[in-house]
């Protein structure tokens, strides 16, 4: 069974090699290109100021990040969530560059750097599929009819959720053809989280044959009673 982690980050600026740091990581889990409902999210104290340009993108202020954990403190949980999964990232050199720079800052005993060759980069995938067209995340959402109205500010978890949908479309729309009802893990919300918004469930029209539906039911059952599908089975299937 193929396990993939779709990942996105936010940072203090655009230059990891010049001292910019990670401030947010968001990731969602896929099995065989299907979301399981499991996600990872954290904010990080970068121990430096957020640039004005970066703040305009994600809205995460120095004051908001001041009491968040350091990268070394979130690392064990982050690595546990990643496991040995295949990473899926849009414009992978940017995010991987920042993660590897954070690893390097830890010195002796740090995890080995992530190799770009081991990462699925959806940006060149999109460029190959749509040469000459805009292939940023907003453009791809528009092209594939994916609702990104929640994306008033960039946020790592929300962008990872949206990228997971885009990735499946780049692969040929397998998720849509399965006709799944997927509840996206909601982005963190609350008065102290700038730009946070809740993600409404997305509904997909079923185009399954009886044989395909039976195979999917077997797969869904294998995820256990706590799986996200349990709460989102259409009434016709529940009876």
Q: Which two structure tokens, joined as six digits, stand for 82?
A: 């990643």
Q: Which positions ≥6 away from 214 have C-beta within 8 Å? A: none
Which of 6, 40, 8, 10 has its CA nearest to residue 24?
A: 10
Cβ burial, residue 57 (10 Å; 0-12/13-18/19+): middle
The tokens describing 120, both together, are 């699925």
Answer yes or no: are the C-beta atoms of 101 and 24 closer than 8 Å.
no
Sequence-ordered list of residues with C-beta below 8 angstroms from that of 141, at least 6 positions apart, any chain? 147, 148, 162, 165, 166
Is 130 in the active site? Answer: no
Lookup: tokens for 44: 């990080």
Span between the terminal Cα atoms of the chain, in Å: 29
**Beta carbons of 101 and 16 less than 8 angstroms apart:** yes
* Both tokens assigned to 146: 């994916």
Q: Out of 58, 90, 154, 216, which one is annotated catalytic? A: 154
Measured in whole angstroms, the distance separating CA 229 from the mean position of its chain's CA atoms is: 19
Q: Which active-site residues does the annotation give?
A: 154
């Amino acid at each position: 069974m193929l396990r993939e982690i779709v990942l996105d980050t936010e940072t203090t600026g655009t230059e990891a090699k010049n001292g910019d740091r990670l401030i947010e990581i968001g990731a969602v889990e896929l099995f065989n290109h299907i979301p399981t409902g499991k996600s990872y999210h954290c904010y990080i104290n970068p121990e430096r100021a957020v640039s004005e340009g970066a703040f305009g993108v994600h809205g995460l202020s120095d004051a908001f990040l001041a009491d968040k954990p350091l990268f070394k403190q979130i690392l064990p949980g982050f690595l546990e969530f990643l496991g040995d999964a295949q990473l899926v990232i849009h414009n992978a050199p940017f995010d991987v560059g920042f993660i590897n720079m954070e690893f390097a800052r830890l010195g002796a005993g740090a995890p080995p750097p992530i190799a770009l060759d081991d990462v699925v980069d959806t940006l060149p995938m999109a460029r190959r599929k749509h040469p000459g067209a805009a292939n940023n995340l907003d453009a791809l959402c528009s092209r594939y009819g994916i609702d990104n109205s929640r994306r008033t500010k960039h946020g790592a978890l929300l962008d990872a959720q949206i990228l997971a949908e885009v990735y499946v479309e780049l692969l040929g729309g397998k998720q849509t053809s399965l006709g799944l009802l997927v509840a996206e893990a909601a982005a963190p919300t609350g008065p102290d989280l700038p730009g946070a918004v809740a993600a409404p469930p997305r509904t997909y029209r079923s185009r399954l044959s009886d044989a395909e539906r039976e195979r999917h039911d077997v797969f869904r059952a294998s995820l256990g009673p706590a799986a996200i599908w349990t709460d989102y089975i259409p009434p016709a299937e529940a009876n």
